[in-house]
């Protein structure tokens, strides 16, 4: 008896509630985050801010979704593609295969994927020259280090994160010849992005070995590094978003990766009809990467240091300095 009542309830729900989520709005952009979540104070949050900026400028609302596992990437993409989203922006290298599969299945939906390159007629790929931005923060670390030892903590050990590391080391070596580097990676699986405790342990051990500045490229795990910097009275360098405010006075600077600009641009261009597929590379000349200066770190970076950094920036933009990527080239992916 009870069981059939339960089934009737389900049946009623099925009949009464047909999917009717169509909104009056004409342009429907969707933003999908990577593992780590929307408010990670880093990569995903930058994407969120970009979409918010778009919403403020145009008054158009956007939908977003935080998958809690890699298998949800494809489900989320398919779901929004089927509900006729106009543009789906997926941020993170983890989306590469999922976007490829879904974009093939839905040739009429536009996809923008950040940090991965997919060659399909309805996919726009945006990658960054993280090595160039890391070069600048490497210079800052090299100039500011007193102990002559600087550290690097990466999230998941993949070529993308190695790119931060090589740029950082080149920048530091550019200003000083006698530096010692210590580097660690949190892990080899996507859970490495979400392990601030392990990252903090690694940072503490690096500080104990005489390192005085650590650059972390580890998404939410990097927050552990910044907290360890405060606990040890040392310095950290943030990543992706401006993280100077997270522990003011203990964050030397942040390597900005303008995911926000990329997301905002993708949405604006799709709205304005100028969106085009293909591969965009955002480096220092395009304003895609930079270092962060604000009231929280103004006391940590002298005018003299800034002059040197700006001089190097001009040389990178003009092509006089070429910051090598992991494979030695500098093509941005």
Partner 1 sequence: MSASAKKLPGAVEAIAMPFLNTLIAFLLSGLLIWALGEDPFYALSLLFDGAFGYQEGIGYTFYYATNFIFTGLAVSVAYHAGHFNIGGEGQAMLGGLGLTLAVFWLGDTAPVLSVIIAILGAALFGGAWAFIPAWLQATRGSHIVITTIMFNFIASALLAYLLVGPLQRPGGQMPESSDFPEGAGLMKFDELMSVLGFSFEQSPLNVSFLIALLMALAVWFLLTRTRFGYEMRVAGKNQNAAAFAGVSVPRVTIIALMMSGALAGMMGLNELLGEQLRLIGNFTLGYGFVGIAVAFMGRNHPLGIVLAAILFGVLYQGGAEIAFEITTISSDMIVVVQGLVIIFAGAMPHLMRKPVTAAYARLIGKGAA
Q: Which of 8, 25, 56, 82 binds partner 1 (CB under 8 A)?
A: 82
Nearer to partner 1, 95 or 291 (CB): 95
Q: Which of 51, 91, 137, 160 binds partner 1 (CB under 8 A)?
A: 160
Cβ contact 237:140 at 8 Å = yes
Q: Which of 84, 104, 148, 188 binds partner 1 (CB under 8 A)?
A: 188
Sign of the Cα torsion 19, 21, 26, 32 reads: negative
Nearer to partner 1, 163 or 313 (CB): 163
Is 13 a binding residue for partner 1 by CB under 8 A? The answer is yes
Is 22 a binding residue for partner 1 by CB under 8 A? The answer is no
DSSP 98-147: HHHHHHHH-TTSEEEEES-----TTEEEEEE-HHHHHHHHHHHHHHH-SS
Which segment (2-10, 44-52, 138-146, 269-277) binds partner 1 by CB under 8 A? 2-10
Own/partner pairs, 245-250, CB within 8 angstroms, 24+ separation:
245/294, 245/296, 246/41, 248/296, 248/297, 249/296, 249/299, 249/300, 250/226
Which segment (10-18, 128-136, 216-224, 287-295) binds partner 1 by CB under 8 A? 10-18
Which of these, 270, 211, 171, lies nearest to 163 by C-alpha position?
Answer: 171
Rounded CA gap, 46 and 41, in Å?
A: 8
Q: Which of 8, 97, 311, 314 binds partner 1 (CB under 8 A)?
A: 97
Is 157 a binding residue for partner 1 by CB under 8 A? The answer is yes
Shortest spacing between CB 326 and partner 1, in angstroms: 11
Is 19 a binding residue for partner 1 by CB under 8 A? The answer is yes
Is 191 a binding residue for partner 1 by CB under 8 A? The answer is yes
Rounded CA gap, 127 and 332, in Å?
A: 6
Which of these, 262, 233, 265, 260, lies nearest to 249 by C-alpha position?
Answer: 233
DSSP 149-204: EEEEEEEE-SHHHHHHHHHHHHHHHHH-SS-EEEEEEEESSGGGGG-HHHHHHHHH
Nearer to partner 1, 140 or 223 (CB): 223
Nearer to partner 1, 9 or 314 (CB): 9
Is 319 a binding residue for partner 1 by CB under 8 A? The answer is no
Is 107 a binding residue for partner 1 by CB under 8 A? The answer is no
Nearer to partner 1, 79 or 245 (CB): 79
Cβ contact 151:214 at 8 Å = yes
Counted residue by residue, the chain has a size of: 333
Q: Please report, as residue ranges, which positions from 40 to 79 form the binding site for partner 1 (by CB under 8 A).
A: 64-72, 75-76, 79
Is 24 a binding residue for partner 1 by CB under 8 A? The answer is no
Cβ contact 125:280 at 8 Å = yes
Shortest spacing between CB 170 and partner 1, in angstroms: 21
Which chain residues interact with partner 1 by CB under 8 A? 2-3, 6, 9-10, 13-14, 16-19, 21, 64-72, 75-76, 79, 82, 93-94, 96-97, 116, 157-160, 188-191
């Amino acid at each position: 008896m009870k069981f059939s009542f339960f089934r009737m309830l389900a049946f009623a729900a099925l009949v009464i509630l047909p999917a009717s989520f169509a909104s009056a709005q004409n342009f429907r952009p969707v933003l999908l985050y990577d593992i780590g979540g929307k408010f990670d104070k880093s990569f995903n949050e930058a994407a969120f801010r970009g979409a918010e900026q778009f919403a403020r400028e145009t008054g158009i609302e956007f939908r977003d979704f935080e998958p809690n596992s890699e298998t949800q990437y494809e489900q989320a993409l398919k779901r929004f593609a089927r509900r006729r989203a106009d543009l789906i922006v997926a941020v993170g290298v983890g989306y590469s295969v999922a976007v490829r599969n879904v974009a093939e299945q839905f040739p009429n939906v536009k996809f923008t994927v950040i940090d991965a390159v997919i060659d399909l007629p309805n996919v726009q790929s945006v990658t960054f020259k993280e090595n160039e931005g890391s070069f600048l923060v490497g210079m800052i670390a090299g100039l500011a280090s007193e102990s002559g030892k600087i550290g690097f903590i990466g999230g998941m050990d993949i070529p993308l994160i190695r790119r931060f590391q090589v740029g950082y080391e080149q920048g530091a070596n550019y200003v000083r010849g006698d530096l010692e580097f210590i580097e660690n990676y949190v892990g080899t699986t996507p859970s490495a992005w979400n392990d601030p405790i392990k990252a903090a342990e690694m940072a503490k051990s690096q500080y104990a070995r005489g390192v005085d500045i650590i650059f972390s490229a580890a998404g939410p795990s990097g927050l552990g590094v910044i907290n360890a910097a405060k606990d040890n009275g040392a310095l950290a360098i943030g990543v992706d978003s401006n993280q100077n405010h997270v522990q003011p006075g203990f964050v030397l600077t942040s390597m900005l990766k303008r995911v926000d600009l990329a997301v905002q641009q993708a949405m604006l261009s799709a709205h304005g009809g100028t969106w085009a597929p293909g591969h965009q590379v955002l480096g220092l000349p395009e304003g895609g990467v930079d270092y962060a200066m604000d009231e929280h770190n103004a006391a940590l970076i002298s005018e003299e240091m800034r002059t040197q950094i700006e001089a190097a920036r001009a040389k990178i933009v003009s092509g006089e300095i070429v910051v090598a990527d992991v494979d030695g080239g500098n093509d941005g992916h």
